[in-house]
Structure formats: C-alpha cells, structure tokens
Amino acid sequence: MLSIESQSTLWRITCSLDRYGVDYRDYARAKISNFDPLTFSGNRKGGKCKNLEFINVRGHECRDCSSAWWQETNMMLHHDSSVNFCDFGKTSGGVENEDNFGYYKVTNPQFRCTANNDSTTNYWFGQNI
C-alpha cells in the first residue's frame, strides 16, 4: 500500500462500483497531502475534522470542506454521519452512530456501501490525469 500511495496524489472511496459506477453518491475524495488514510489516527471519542475535495453521504454533500473521521488500531478508517461537527455536519435520515466508508459496526441500508450483503466499499489511490 505504501508503494502505491507513494505514486498517488489522491484517494477516493466509492460504494458498490460494479452496480452504480462513479455517480458521486456515497463517495469521498481527498488529496493525500491533506488527509493520508494510511497514517491517520483519530480516536473513538472525538474523531478529527479532515479536509476533503468532495464527500457525499446519501445525497448530502459538500466540496472543499472538512468532515469527521475516525481510525485507530483495530478500527478501520470511517466517517460517522450522525455527528454534527466539522463543515460537513450531520446527514439527515441517518441512524445513531452510523458508520460510513468502513468499520461498519452501525449501518444504514440507505447507504450504498451497506445496503445489502452484495454491497462493497472500494478504496482507490491515484492521481489526476
């Protein structure tokens, strides 16, 4: 992963790419220089606001904004759409402690990455062409 990341400037997360393609719903994209998912650490109690180029959770979206993320040992990178801090804030229609883009302890069937047993979460590293 470090070798791939060393040749990349961006990362993104898509949901069920094989079914929906890239239509920017349930999607996140950031510059590695602003938010490195391989070295990021944000604890369970507070998470951290990180700058993204774009984030969309169930239709709620923002560009060039901060959103709340968590990751630590034994807890994969994820966003909690039920919290109301950072620029992105709380996403309506969510469930309490809803996990998005990873660490799916609490899920919402309205989120494409956790809609059903065939749903997938896809992490990508690359750069603009």
Pair of tokens at residue 36: 């490195």
pLDDT tens, residue by residue, 65-115: 999 999 988 889 999 999 998 999 999 999 999 999 999 999 999 999 999
pLDDT, average across residues 46-64: 95
Q: Are 78 and 100 in contact (CB under 8 A)?
A: yes
21-37, pLDDT tens digit by residue?
Answer: 999 999 999 999 999 99
pTM for the structure as a whole: 0.92
Q: Is 10 exposed, middle or buried (0-12, 13-18, 19+ CB in 10 A)?
A: middle
Tokens representing residue 47 in the block: 């998470």
Determine the average pLDDT of the residues in 37-59: 90
Q: Determine the residue type at 11.
A: W
Q: Looking at the 3D structure of the chain, how many domains does it have?
A: 1
Looking at residue 70, its pLDDT comes to 94
List the domain range (segments joined by +) for residue 102: 2-126
d(CA 60, CA 88): 9
**pLDDT over threshold 80, residue 125:** yes
Give me the pLDDT at residue 3, please.
84
Residue with more model confidence, 4 or 49: 49
Extract the tokens encoding 121. 């979460």
**Which residues in the chain belong to E strands, given as ranges?**
10-15, 27-31, 48-57, 60-72, 75-80, 99-100, 121-126
Residues 54-62: what's their mean pLDDT? Answer: 97
Q: Quick one: tokens of 74?
A: 């034994």
Q: What is the DSSP letter of 93?
A: T
Q: Which residues pair with 30 in a beta bridge?
A: 11
Task: Give the single-character DSSP code of 42.
Answer: B
As a whole number, mean pLDDT of residues 61-68 equals: 97
